[in-house]
Amino acid sequence: SDVAAYILVVNASDLGAPPRKTSTTLNVTVLATNRASPVFSQLAYTASVSEGTAPGPLLTVSANDSDCGDSERITYTMSSGNTSLFNINATTGVVYLRSSVDFE
């Protein structure tokens, strides 16, 4: 099983007569590594927008990461497409229409 922390006892002693010693506790926390890639809950998402639709939310995308700690936090961005017409909330995954669509 995976161990997330270790507790060690460290001793120090002198060479006097009689020898004296002391001890302290050392807590070691194992930090998670970023081993897993995020996985979207769907392979693809589809939204339909009618001409003249008011700006606002269209849909929400969702991804999960099986890592622990900071490595499991998901940030959403758009890397291509019409980012002047659409944007995404980096935290929630909500995709927004920024302005009305006109097909003419």
Averaging pLDDT over each range in 31-35, 60-64, 72-76, 82-86, which range is the top one?
60-64
Token pair 């506790």 is at which residue? 25
* Neighbour tally for 55: CB within 10 Å: 12
The pLDDT, as a whole number, for residue 27 is 92
Find the mean pLDDT for residues 80-102: 90
Q: What percent of the chain has pLDDT over 90?
A: 60
- Quick check: 73 and 93 in contact, CB under 8 A? no
